[in-house]
Structure 1
Amino acid sequence: MKLISWNVNGLRAAVRKGFVDTFNDFNSDIFALQEIKLSEGQLDLKLDGYEMFYNYAERKGYSGTAVFTREKPLNVTYGMGIEEHDSEGRIINLEYDDFYFITCYTPNSKRKLERLEYRMVWEDDFRNYLNNLNGKKPIILCGDLNVAHREIDLANPKTNRKSAGFTDEERNKFTELLNAGYVDTFRHFYPEQPEEYSWWSNFANSRERNIGWRIDYFVVSNGITKDLKDAKIHQSVMGSDHCPVELLLK
């Protein structure tokens, strides 16, 4: 089974940049998107053979997620059931026989860390949400989780210690998540592989110079590790300031 996750930084813009060709080239079983920046009815996208699910933010042109799947889910839910968190379209959960597939676009703490306090609340509530699901069946979580967990996960760790996405607080919350019974699949296969990033700033030719951050993930329940085949970061795929990430299951 091939799973893809991609923060497209605006799905309409991505479509103009060749998204459909990229989507078809991947030929995935499930394809998850973050930051679609859509309202209902703004895009008429047809993908043969796929069921399509969207979670739109209430605010226009902001946030939002989508999942396109070949396999019909048993059930689909949106958000984590907490009003404080569920107006921005950040979570879609597809339930299957053997697992939950969840895509998430984690809130950014912003440049002056003005949203860091809220982010800490989100992290605790989201971890509890995942743990409740994981008590029923394993989970596969993907998305832009807006944190570079380790120093190896960004090009300039020393100068970014107090930057959104690399604060001690955010990194510690990701550690708490993993310690609760989950695996960062890319680091499972490539624990010390450097210069593997999934997002680059639009400034100073950061992508060409590979001055990036790894903030897009597939995270799975510990019990699924035996079924993992490989994890990939597709740095050469253009169309967004992020690149797609992939998980292969046996």
Structure 2
Amino acid sequence: MKLVSWNVNGIRACVRKGFLDYFKEIDADIFCIQETKLQEGQITLDLEGYYQYWNYAERKGYSGTAVFTKREPLNVKYGVGKQATQDEGRILTLEFEDFYLVNVYTPNAKRDLSRLDYRLEWEDELYDYLVQLDQVKPLIYCGDLNVAHQEIDLKNHKTNHGNSGFTTEERGKMTRLLNSGFIDTLRYFYPEKDDLYTWWSYMKTIRERNIGWRIDYFIVSERLKDRLVDSHVHSLVLGSDHCPIMLELK
């Protein structure tokens, strides 16, 4: 089984830049996207063989998530907890027979950290939600989580300590989750491999020189460990300031 996650930074723009070519080529069983940046009715995607589920932000051209799946889920849940998180369309949960899939676009703390407190509250609420789901059945948690967990997960870690996405607080929330029965699948397979980034600034030559951050993840319940086959970063795929990531499961 193949699962893909990609922050498309606007699905309409990404479609113009080749999204459908990649989508058809990769032929994933489940394909998750974040930052769709649209409202219902603003795009029609002809994805034959896939069920489509969209969680739109109320604010136009902002946030949003979607999941395209060959397997029809048992249930779909939009958002979790406080209404504010649902207003921004940041969480989609699909329940299947043998696992939950949670697709997330995590709020950015902002450059001046003005949204850090909100971000940390979000992390606490989402943590409780993920742990509760995991008690029912195994969990696959994916998306743009807006944090580089370890120094190996960004090129210039020395100059970015304390910056948005690399604060002690944000990294600590990720550590807490991984210490609670979950696996960062990429680091499971490649614990010491550097230069595995998923986001790059649009500044000139930054992506060409691979000066990036790894802020997109597939995280799974530890009891899915025996089903893990591989975890990939498709850094050569363009169309967004993020690249797709893929998880293979037995």
- TM-score normalized with structure 1 length: 0.99
Q: Aligned residue for 1:233?
A: 233
Q: Name the aligned partner's letter for residue 60 of structure 2.
A: K
Give, in angstroms, the shift of residue 180 of structure 1: 1.3
Distance 1:36 1:133 in 2: 25
Distance 2:246 2:211 in 1: 21
Q: Summarize the alignment of residues 48-197 of structure 1 with structure 2, pairs less than 5 Å apart.
A: 48-197=48-197
Task: Classify the secondary structure of the residue corresponding to 1:12.
Answer: helix
In 1, are the aligned partners of 2:81 and 2:125 still within 8 Å (CA)? no
In 1, are the aligned partners of 2:35 and 2:64 still within 8 Å (CA)? yes
RMSD, aligned α-carbons? 0.6
Q: Aligned residue for 1:220?
A: 220
Task: Classify the secondary structure of the residue corresponding to 2:210.
Answer: coil
Distance 1:153 1:136 in 2: 31
Give, in angstroms, the shift of residue 227 of structure 1: 0.5
Distance 2:130 2:124 in 1: 10
Q: Name the aligned partner's letter for residue 152 of structure 2.
A: I
Distance 1:135 1:42 in 2: 38
- CA deviation vs aligned residue, 1:147-172 (integer Å, no higher than 9, x gap): 00000000000100121100111000
Give, in angstroms, the shift of residue 81 of structure 1: 3.2
Identity %: 60
Regions of 4+ moved over 3 Å = none
Unaligned 5+ residue runs, structure 2? none
Distance 2:176 2:114 in 1: 22
Give the length in aligned residue pairs. 250
In 1, are the aligned partners of 2:182 and 2:221 still within 8 Å (CA)? yes
Q: Name the aligned partner's letter for residue 63 of structure 2.
A: S
Give, in angstroms, the shift of residue 204 of structure 1: 3.3
Task: Classify the secondary structure of the residue corresponding to 2:42.
Answer: coil
Task: Classify the secondary structure of the residue corresponding to 2:119.
Answer: helix
Distance 1:5 1:182 in 2: 18
Task: Classify the secondary structure of the residue corresponding to 2:149.
Answer: coil
Task: Classify the secondary structure of the residue corresponding to 1:85.
Answer: helix
